[in-house]
Amino acid sequence: MAKRTRIAIVLFALVVLGGTAYFADSHLPRLLAEPLPQADAVLVHKAERKLYLLRDGEPYRAYGIALGANPNGHKAREGDERTPEGSYVLDWRNPDSAYHLSLHISYPNDADKARAAARGVPPGGMIMIHGQRNGLGWLAGMLQRWNWTDGCVAVTNTAMEEIWRAVPNGTPITIKP
């Protein structure tokens, strides 16, 4: 009986947390979306778990983020589950991503490749800013509490739609520890 009770509590928590996230991350914000100024830079502050859109050097929008499952330190190699640190560019976008929209971060740069080569390991790649896995956006309220990506920067689907609209290809991104 105790096992059934635990299962019921877990299922109830998933429904409550998921339902709350579904309504908070529903399509209503998209329908009521205000025009956003175009960002001229993006700042990710890993310790704060925040992504900032910048205009003229000042943040005008902030979003909570989830990072790689091993978030401390700069990405050193493929598979280390770290989010890179440094200066990059958001160089292309994928509207058909397995995660609700995605913007590619230009990791690895030449210095990242050289560091990995000196260690004899692949640097990794395909680091993105993205929303939730397709079909699981309703779980964002729970998932965004943990660092769960392989090194990407994850936001809610509603946040990703705003970022998608405000950030053109070629926008610089700085990722700080």
Domains, the chain, ordered by start: 2-176 (2.40.440.10)
Model confidence at 171, in pLDDT bands (50, 70, 90)? very high
Show the beta-strand stretches assigned E in the chain.
Answer: 41-45, 50-55, 58-64, 86-94, 102-105, 128-130, 153-154, 171-176
- For residue range 36-85, list pLDDT tens digits in order: 899 999 999 999 999 999 999 999 999 999 999 998 999 999 999 999 99
- For residue range 143-156, list pLDDT tens digits in order: 888 899 999 999 99
Dist. CA 52–CA 62, nearest whole Å: 4
- Percentage of residues in the chain with pLDDT exceeding 70? 81
Q: Is the pLDDT of residue 25 over 90?
A: no
Rg (alpha carbons) of the chain, rounded to whole number: 17
pLDDT at site 35: 79
Model confidence at 33, in pLDDT bands (50, 70, 90)? low
DSSP string for residues in 68-118: BSS-SS---STTS-----EEEEEEEEETT-SBSSEEEE--S-HHHHHHHHH
Q: What is the pTM of this model?
A: 0.79
